Structure 1
Amino acid sequence: MPLPMSPTDSVFLIGESREHPLHVGGLVLLQPPDGADAHDVRRMLDTSMTENKVTPLLRKRPRRSASSLGQWFWETDNQFDIGHHIRHDALARPGGMTELSALVSRLHGSLLDRNRPLWEMHLIEGLTDGRFAVYTKIHHSLADGIGAMRLLRRSLTIDADKRDMTAPWEPRHRILQPRNTTGLLDLPLSAVRTAIDFAGEATGLVPALTGSVLRALRNQGGPMSFAAPHSALNVPITGARQFVARSWALDRLRLVAKYADGTINDVVLAMSSGALRRYLVERGALPERPLVAMVPVSLRNERSRPEPLGEPSDTGGNEIGMLMCNLGTHHADPGDRLESVRRSMVEGKTALRGMSPTQVIALSALGAAPLALDMLFGRHGPVRPPFNIVISNVPGPAAPLYWNGARLDALYPLSVTLDGQALNITCTTTDNSIAFGLTGCRRAVPQLEPILDHLDDELAALESAVGI
């Protein structure tokens, strides 16, 4: 049955163009089990392909028609071709992380075919260290970062000896059906019901909006900001992408957070702040005012807690709000930057706790409105950006995980860049490590590798600043 698409999800289809692909991605490195090699991992995945079994979420493709009043909806692809979605690639020699990053950068810059379900998976051989790589991309209209994470998580186990795990694209033994079975002719009615539900929240929205505007005028944390300066990151972009990644021990960030009376996410933001400050200083392009980061927060399941938590639904989609965080890049001292971040995030979370999810989404949409209008109407970057960069921290597995004996060795996230937002930083935790994935426009933000070195230096500086 056709399923209506939420306005939030449809924006990612409306705003997409050749220069602005709007999919998220992930790069997984698998360590083959003892006595096996990368070819054995590929053979296991190839065997799963022959089953031609795909979870319902990954069979959905976007459509719109006159009967849906031009609104986007989802329908099941009854001619699904698994060979189109799962592809094989091999690295050029010498087969290191440099070659892997270059391949993934090229793959991440190409558009997904809208006539088919909006996802691809690339099985990559040729790493000289014996590991096997899998790069996946999925359109942001179909799943947000946490939703994509759950697709991976459901195919993994903590049992290294278990050998009957399904592939990430396959359904589980119990296929969960989408919650909404609205028919195509019911789509306009569904839109009306959504509007009525939203109207019920309007009474509380006015004071929430007033409070958010006042906080923004005072440069306090919340879903809106009027303080972001123009920077070298806020320029028009092209379709070519560049991707780099690196991991750090999560215990190092956890200890800094403990000594600073903050959170791991505060440390992620402070590391990013210091790395961006160093990168811009080297180019003589550091703004006098501090950079502002948009920090997505999940609204799934634990509705009262605006944190990056929770399991996404099997229907996919996006259930996120956002906070604006003062990165304190005008401070030369790393401790001062961390304190600016910590204070801004505390203020923002306090503000969101008094709102319903609908109100959070509405105010988050207003906070990002200049960028959304720019994306939808094809302008070339806002005069004053609503924020300078998106920095996300997507929670991953907390224990070692395996797929049919192959250990999940690393998981690197890839995200979206837009006109006016030429760089994105997304982090993912796996076991006891945290991976930073940097996705940037190849022309607007060249040479991303130095930012990884700056992140390393900044973590060491934060450790020193808090007395570790």
Structure 2
Amino acid sequence: MKNETSRLERLTASDRFLLLWDDSGWAADIGALGVLDGHGLLDSDGRVRIEAVRRWLEPRLEGVPHVRQLLYRPRWWLGGPLWIDAPSLDLADHVRVHPVGPPGDQSRLLQACAELASRRLDPARPLWEVWLLPGLPQERVGLFLRMHHIMADGIAAVAAFGSLLDTAADAPNPVAPSWAPTPMPTAGELLRDNLRRHARRLARLPVGLAHASDLLRRTRRAWPAWRELLAEQRAPRTSLNRPVGADRRLGVLRSRLEATSQIAHAHDAKVNDVVLDVVAGGLRELLSGRGEHLDGLALRAMVPVSLHREQRGQEGASNLDGWMVVPLPLGESDAVRRLDLIKAETTARKRNAHPQTGSGISQSMLFQRAFLHGFAHQRFINISVTNVPGPPVPLYLSGAQLLELFPVVSLMGNIALAVAVFSYNGQLNLTAIADQNVCPDVDVFIHGARIALDDLARSVSEYGV
């Protein structure tokens, strides 16, 4: 019985919440777009040596959680969704080639990535893909990695993607461990596991009632974060917040981590404050270009907060994200004054507890379904901004150096523009992910973000740094 229970890995409440995105029609994928030095990846005709890449990747798959598993949804009386081993794994289904159309410039690369990101992952297979994108100048090759968000959150996804790559061009090739799928659990095993889980919850109920003061204290600590999201104020109406469709458009902004850190240090701020200020500058440019009024306007940004340090070692925790809502003062045109306002907000809000997504009342499926039911018309937040630290050293795929890397996240509800920032090997790169129909002018946002970053960089000399 003990072995039977231990091999059943049910989804956590946080994971189930992400799974409901799919049920609501929004893909819950996360990924990264990179550019490789492809000299060793291409044959004499410029085609990717895809079989060699698959052979190189196979022994490295073990570092990725659930890479050989399927998501299985049993009937309701057998318990919640769980991971089961796939009968087999054919890398030809997961590691593929998608040529970039001529002239192979950045615009075409982003278009190819947006097209792939718009496709849904096949639930009949393990929920991840690796795409090689040849056709770039100088024999460079694009790389698009993506997985379903239930496999890992931002921090865990960085570790997962990183395990597929080497930290040296000539790193030794690991030996692929032997693997055999565990048989799918029977209906009886699932039912017994479900009953045991319910019994444990009932057994903990008296303990929870006996420690009601602890529950009340945790609720009070978490309330400021819930108030930020649900009760602080309504998100302003803008042309950005429209129900999202399936098609995507991407824009990217390159910067250096050291330069951004210098800006933050000069203004006694954090790198994430600088990122939020740059995003606010991009939003100013975008909305003003659409003729919208900016006076006194403050858009509400959802900023995920990683809880990996706070909840290290939590069992089955593939997703350990909380949130913080930060107002972005678009009405302030000066980038330095805007940074001061954002810094004050984040400093105050970081003092609050940040409950994990899917914790407390949000563990309830009824709450999760009710929350998402009206999310296409919600007025809680205007935009999502994610900043994830990545590896500080260069990475290699089959000996080919990864030259740059950009994050790619998903959209949901009526949040038609999301921004993700990723550090890699001294770079700090920003990606704007937009709904094609709601935000075809994402390049205007990128232009405004660049102006804001340049203004902040010029301000550094004024502070004597």
Q: 1:71 Cα shift?
A: 1.9
Q: 1:80 Cα shift?
A: 3.0
Q: How does 1:260-409 map to 2 (within 5 A)?
A: 260-286=267-293, 288-300=296-308, 302-303=309-310, 317-352=318-353, 362=359, 365=362, 373-375=370-372, 377=373, 380-382=376-378, 385-409=379-403
Helix, strand or coil at the partner of 1:438: strand
461 and 199 in structure 1: CA distance in 2 versus 1, 3 angstrom threshold = farther
- The match for 2:37 is 31
Amino acid at match of 1:48: W
**1:44 is matched with which residue: 20, 44, 52?**
52
Over the residues paired in the alignment, what is the CA RMSD in angstroms? 3.6
Whether the 8 Å contact between 1:22 and 1:139 is mirrored in structure 2 is yes
- The match for 2:73 is 64
* Distance (Å, rounded) in 1 between the aligned partners of 2:144 and 2:41: 24
- The match for 2:95 is 86
Amino acid at match of 1:335: V
Amino acid at match of 2:261: R
51 and 256 in structure 1: CA distance in 2 versus 1, 3 angstrom threshold = closer
314 and 240 in structure 1: CA distance in 2 versus 1, 3 angstrom threshold = farther
- The match for 1:155 is 164
| CA distances 1:261-319 after superposition (whole Å, capped 9, x unpaired) | 1111111111101111121111122454311111111111x218xxxxx8x99966211
Q: 1:41 Cα shift?
A: 6.4
207 and 30 in structure 1: CA distance in 2 versus 1, 3 angstrom threshold = same
Helix, strand or coil at the partner of 1:341: helix
Helix, strand or coil at the partner of 2:377: coil
Q: 1:227 Cα shift?
A: 4.6
| CA distances 1:72-111 after superposition (whole Å, capped 9, x unpaired) | 1111111333222222111111111111111111111111
335 and 51 in structure 1: CA distance in 2 versus 1, 3 angstrom threshold = closer
Whether the 8 Å contact between 1:18 and 1:111 is mirrored in structure 2 is no
Q: 1:234 Cα shift?
A: 1.8
| CA distances 1:9-32 after superposition (whole Å, capped 9, x unpaired) | 112222315852121121121124
Whether the 8 Å contact between 2:50 and 2:97 is mirrored in structure 1 is no
1:439 is the counterpart of 2:438: no
* Distance (Å, rounded) in 2 between the aligned partners of 1:398 and 1:380: 38
* Distance (Å, rounded) in 1 between the aligned partners of 2:85 and 2:274: 42
Which stretch of the first structure deviates more once superposed, 34-43 or 443-452? 34-43
- The match for 2:4 is none
**1:424 is matched with which residue: 403, 418, 427?**
418
* Distance (Å, rounded) in 2 between the aligned partners of 1:192 and 1:291: 45
Amino acid at match of 1:373: A
Whether the 8 Å contact between 2:65 and 2:151 is mirrored in structure 1 is no
331 and 52 in structure 1: CA distance in 2 versus 1, 3 angstrom threshold = closer
Whether the 8 Å contact between 2:37 and 2:139 is mirrored in structure 1 is yes
When the two structures are superposed, what TM-score results if normalisation uses the length of structure 2? 0.83
Q: 1:447 Cα shift?
A: 2.0
Whether the 8 Å contact between 1:142 and 1:316 is mirrored in structure 2 is no
Q: How does 1:198-213 map to 2 (within 5 A)?
A: 199=208, 203-207=213-217, 209-210=219-220
* Distance (Å, rounded) in 2 between the aligned partners of 1:80 and 1:45: 16
161 and 43 in structure 1: CA distance in 2 versus 1, 3 angstrom threshold = same
| CA distances 1:152-191 after superposition (whole Å, capped 9, x unpaired) | 212334334324268xxxx7x699x99xx99633134335
- The match for 2:22 is 16
Q: 1:52 Cα shift?
A: 11
216 and 61 in structure 1: CA distance in 2 versus 1, 3 angstrom threshold = closer
Whether the 8 Å contact between 1:242 and 1:442 is mirrored in structure 2 is yes
Choose between structure 1 and 2: higher helix proportion. 2
Identical columns (%): 24
- The match for 2:455 is 461
Helix, strand or coil at the partner of 1:291: strand
Q: How does 1:122-161 map to 2 (within 5 A)?
A: 122-161=131-170
400 and 257 in structure 1: CA distance in 2 versus 1, 3 angstrom threshold = same
Helix, strand or coil at the partner of 1:350: coil
Q: 1:404 Cα shift?
A: 4.1
* Distance (Å, rounded) in 2 between the aligned partners of 1:232 and 1:204: 44
Whether the 8 Å contact between 1:223 and 1:348 is mirrored in structure 2 is no
34 and 416 in structure 1: CA distance in 2 versus 1, 3 angstrom threshold = closer
Helix, strand or coil at the partner of 1:277: helix
Whether the 8 Å contact between 2:306 and 2:321 is mirrored in structure 1 is yes
Which stretch of the first structure deviates more once superposed, 58-67 or 40-49? 40-49
Amino acid at match of 2:452: E
| CA distances 1:332-365 after superposition (whole Å, capped 9, x unpaired) | 221221112111111122122xx7x66x864795
Whether the 8 Å contact between 1:163 and 1:404 is mirrored in structure 2 is no
44 and 109 in structure 1: CA distance in 2 versus 1, 3 angstrom threshold = same
Whether the 8 Å contact between 1:161 and 1:405 is mirrored in structure 2 is yes
Q: 1:445 Cα shift?
A: 1.2
* Distance (Å, rounded) in 1 between the aligned partners of 2:14 and 2:347: 26
Gaps of 5+ in 1: 305-309
| CA distances 1:41-96 after superposition (whole Å, capped 9, x unpaired) | 64531333677966561122112223654521111111333222222111111111
